[in-house]
Chains A and B, each alone.
Chain A
Amino acid sequence: MTDVKNLEELFQSKIDAEQKIEPKDWMPEKYRKTLIRQISQHAHSEVVGMLPEGNWITRAPNLRRKAILLAKVQDEAGHGLYLYSACETLGVSREQTIDDLLSGKAKYSSIFNYPTLSWADIGAIGWLVDGAAIMNQVMLCRTSYGPYARAMVRICKEESFHQRQGYEIMAVLAKGTPEQKEMAQDALNRWWWPSLMMFGPTDANSPHSAESMKWKIKRQSNDELRQTFIDRTVQQAEVIGLSIPDPDLKWNEATQHYDWGTIDWTEFNNVVAGNGPCNKERLVARNKAHDEGAWVREAALAHAAKKAKRKAA
């Protein structure tokens, strides 16, 4: 018992000294489990996140946008892959992790259970959803687990164009025809609150937060990140002449932050529980791709085995 206690103290002292934890280091079982849960959820979010945006690749309004969107959705696949790899360093294979997604056991970011109804949604996702994700990801570049931090550095580097392309789409629509501006405003109206929900429950209601902060998996609280996101985004909306759908939004001179309304947590909990507009569709699509790819993956293995055998003979 004292041994484990010593190990834990040693572990915590490394964390406190800002040393990274590497795969072969001793770590508390709960730290490992928390990381597996968080990294795999993050990976699933990237991969499921390809679906709502992928919807619009074939309908993108011009060739430039089509190429950009393709490259962007492709990046999400890459990010999913980096994160599954980071997860594998903790002793769970990608297949196990993906099986949990396909069976509905694992969670992913609820934002991707909302539908993309118009082209402006592609702008709103890049600007707001990626914008919110980046807040979190920049913080995670300094997370205590080495492989996770390295994956996040790579992701942040690639992700920086995602938010900009989304904001650019919104800016062009906002100064386009009245119909286009309406499209942009409608998208902002629909994506604003779900984007704020992406930061997770309030600090008071966040079950895993304290421990994650102590272990420096997280370094800023949900509420802090959410507030920074709001402060930045309100200004960006003003620049392009769109209005944030929150009647309570008001600059507070004393706090130097925006005061804002209340998140509808019933909606949040509903979507998390599987009752969002597209939860079923997303899982069906992932399962279909997985099942229909089975013979492809088998064929590649069978051929590799045959080739290796011929080479040995």
Chain B
Amino acid sequence: MSQQDALFTYTLRQADDLLILSHRLSEWCGHGPVLEEDIALTNRALDHIGEARNLYTYAGQVEGKGRDEDALAYLRNERQFVNTKLVEQPNGDYAHTIVRSFLFDAYHLPLAEALTKSADAQLAAIAAKAVKEAQYHVKHSSDWLIRFGDGTEESHRRAQEALDNLWTYSGDLFVMDAVHQDFVKAGIAPDLTKIKAAFDATVDRVLAEATLKRPADGFMATGGRQGKHSEHLGFILAEMQYLQRAYPGAEW
């Protein structure tokens, strides 16, 4: 794989994570548990889609084949998407939504912080903007997880269930394949074992306060980075891409 291909793939991985998570969060818009939280969740969806757009645009430039953000988001199929399996998981109840975001946030913040020092100036610039947003995201999702864990019996049970169900997908965030290894060497991407250490620290701190139990690191359902997804992604894309597919080449 050329350096250019690798940078393209690496940028796409981050963009896909953010777009798919944003899409999932946007499904809540108008259906949130309380008006204030509906607004808060939409803010997160907007932050994620904003960062995704910057990354897609950059990925398109790196690739150099004239693909813009929409070509990358709307005209690739399931096997070409390289997001983690975590972000494509269905919203479930609000505990599942919060836990999914919490696991992602606990990874995204240290990743963004590390990327601000990337040898690639554009990735560093995009990350610098994302750091502030990611700080708020971690706070938002941890606050809610703590409320659930240390709230009522029901909320505690739901939060623990969500954590147990989603934990297996957290492993996908830390897969270090050849693309990633090369980039660590070149100083473009951070070593994911370091990001994992920061993730663990956040998870342990928050779960302790939430009185929730950290699931064992057993089998991890990975494969997203290679385009081997759960069945959910196909449905997301079918819905998301429908207009672009139905009216090829149209402007909107």
Contacts and interface: CB of A to CB of B under 8 A. Distances in A.
A78 B152 contact: no
Contacts of A173: 252
19 contacts: A54-B30, A57-B26, A63-B52, A63-B53, A63-B73, A65-B252, A67-B50, A70-B29, A73-B29, A78-B39, A84-B35, A177-B247, A177-B250, A288-B31, A293-B37, A295-B154, A295-B158, A299-B151, A300-B147
Interface string A37-49: 0000000000100
A11 B44 CA distance: 46
A61 interface: yes
Given A77-B42, A172-B252, A63 B147 contact: no
B231 interface: no
B180 interface: no
A77 B247 contact: no
* Nearest 3 Cβ contacts at the A-B interface: A293-B33, A299-B151, A299-B155
Given A63-B52, A180-B250, 17 more contacts: A59-B240, A60-B243, A61-B252, A62-B69, A70-B42, A70-B45, A71-B42, A74-B39, A77-B29, A77-B30, A77-B32, A77-B38, A289-B31, A292-B93, A297-B33, A299-B148, A306-B150
B192 interface: no
B230 interface: no
Interface in B43-69: 43, 45-46, 49-50, 52-53, 56, 69
A62 B245 CA distance: 11
The A interface, classified by DSSP as helix, strand, loop or mixed, is: helix
Contacts of B247: 177, 179-180
A176 interface: yes
Contacts, number: 141
Interface of A: 47, 50-51, 54, 57-67, 70-71, 73-74, 77-78, 80-81, 84, 119, 169, 172-173, 176-177, 179-180, 285, 288-289, 292-300, 302-303, 306
Contact of A58 (B43, B50, B240, B251): B240
Given A63-B53, A80-B35, A180-B250, A58 B148 contact: no
Contact of A172 (B19, B240, B251): B251
A287 to B, nearest CB: 11
A60 B39 CA distance: 19
B34 A295 contact: no
Nearest to B36: A81
Contacts of A81: 35-36, 39
